[in-house]
A and B are shown apart, each in its own frame.
Chain A
Amino acid sequence: MSYLLRRIGFYLFTAWAAITINFFIPRAIPGDPVQSMVNRAQGQIDSNAIHSLYVLFGMDTDQSIFSQYFEYLGQLLRGDLGLSFTFFPTPVSEVLGDSLPWTIALVGLTTIVSFVLGTGLGVLVGWRRGGWADLVLPVTTFLSSIPYFWLGLIAITLFAGDGGAFPSSGGYDPGVTPSFTWDFISSAVLHSVLPAVTILITSMSGWIMSMRNMMVTVSQEDYITVAHAKGLSERRVMVSYAARNALLPNVSGFAMSLGLIVGGTLLMEIVFSYPGVGYELFQALGAKDYPLMQGIFLVITLSVLVANLLADVAYLALDPRTRREG
Chain B
Amino acid sequence: MSEPVLEIKNLSVDYGMGPDAVQAVRDVSLTLHRGEVLGLAGESGSGKSTLAYGMTRLLPPPGVVSGGEVVYHPQDGAPVDILGLNRPQLRKLRWSEISIVFQGAMNSLNPVHKVVTQLCDVIKAHDKRSTPASRRARAAELMKLVGINTDRLDSYPHQLSGGMRQRVMIAMALALEPSVVIMDEPTTALDVVMQRQILTQLAELRERLGFAVLFITHDLSLLVELSDRIAIMYGGRIVEEANARQLYREPLHPYSLGLLKSFPALRGERRELTGIPGSPPDLRAMPSGCAFHPRCPRAFEPCADRDPVLAAPEDKTRSVACWLHVPGAGRTAENSTSSTTARS
Contact A320 B94 (CB under 8 A): no
Residues of chain A lying within 8 A (CB to CB) of residue B110:
223, 227, 240-241, 244-245
Which chain B residue has the least Cβ–Cβ distance from A232?
Answer: B125
Contact A321 B156 (CB under 8 A): yes
Chain B 89-102, CB within 8 Å of chain A: the 1/0 string?
Answer: 01111111001101
B109 at the interface (CB under 8 A from A): yes
Q: Which of B89-132 contact A (CB under 8 A)?
A: 90-96, 99-100, 102-104, 107-114, 121-122, 125-126
A47 at the interface (CB under 8 A from B): no
Residues of B within 8 A of A (CB): 53, 56, 58, 60-61, 87, 90-96, 99-100, 102-104, 107-114, 121-122, 125-126, 156, 158-159, 169, 172
A225 at the interface (CB under 8 A from B): yes
In whole angstroms, what is the CA distance A225 to B60 when docked?
9
Contact A223 B91 (CB under 8 A): no
CB B161 to nearest CB in A, in angstroms, measures 14
A117 at the interface (CB under 8 A from B): no
Q: Out of B58, B92, B96, which one reaches A228, CB within 8 Å?
A: B58
Q: Out of B94, B104, B159, which one reaches A231, CB within 8 Å?
A: B94
CB B2 to nearest CB in A, in angstroms, measures 25
Contact A245 B112 (CB under 8 A): yes
Contact A230 B94 (CB under 8 A): yes
Contact B122 A320 (CB under 8 A): no
Given contacts A222-B102, A222-B107, 13 further A-B contacts (CB under 8 A): A225-B60, A226-B169, A229-B100, A230-B95, A230-B121, A231-B92, A231-B94, A231-B95, A233-B125, A245-B112, A320-B111, A321-B156, A321-B158
Contact B99 A222 (CB under 8 A): no
In whole angstroms, what is the CA distance A236 to B109 when docked?
15
What secondary structure prevails in chain A residues at the interface with B?
A: helix
Q: Which of A288-326 contact B (CB under 8 A)?
A: 318-321, 325
A183 at the interface (CB under 8 A from B): no
Which chain B residue has the least Cβ–Cβ distance from A321?
Answer: B158
CB A168 to nearest CB in B, in angstroms, measures 47
CB A241 to nearest CB in B, in angstroms, measures 5
| Total of A-B residue pairs, C-beta within 8 Å | 80
Q: Out of A236, A245, A318, which one reaches B125, CB within 8 Å?
A: A236
Contact A226 B112 (CB under 8 A): no
Residues of chain A lying within 8 A (CB to CB) of residue B109:
223, 226
In whole angstroms, what is the CA distance A241 to B117 when docked?
12
CB B114 to nearest CB in A, in angstroms, measures 8
A147 at the interface (CB under 8 A from B): no
In whole angstroms, what is the CA distance A325 to B93 when docked?
39
Contact A225 B125 (CB under 8 A): no
Residues of chain B lying within 8 A (CB to CB) of residue A240:
110, 113, 121
Which of A232, A241, A245 has the largest number of chain B CB atoms within 10 A? A232
Residues of chain A lying within 8 A (CB to CB) of residue B102:
222, 225-226, 229
CB<8 Å pairs between A and B, sample of 28: A130-B61, A220-B60, A221-B107, A222-B102, A223-B108, A225-B58, A226-B100, A226-B108, A228-B94, A229-B56, A229-B94, A229-B100, A229-B102, A230-B125, A230-B172, A231-B95, A231-B122, A231-B126, A232-B91, A233-B91, A234-B87, A240-B121, A244-B110, A245-B111, A319-B111, A320-B111, A321-B111, A321-B156
In whole angstroms, what is the CA distance A225 to B99 when docked?
12
In whole angstroms, what is the CA distance A223 to B108 when docked?
4
CB A125 to nearest CB in B, in angstroms, measures 16
In whole angstroms, what is the CA distance A325 to B110 when docked?
19
Which chain A residue has the least Cβ–Cβ distance from B103?
Answer: A222
Chain A 266-287, CB within 8 Å of chain B: the 1/0 string?
Answer: 0000000000000000000000
Which chain B residue has the least Cβ–Cβ distance from A322?
Answer: B158
Residues of chain A lying within 8 A (CB to CB) of residue B159:
325
Residues of chain A lying within 8 A (CB to CB) of residue B126:
231
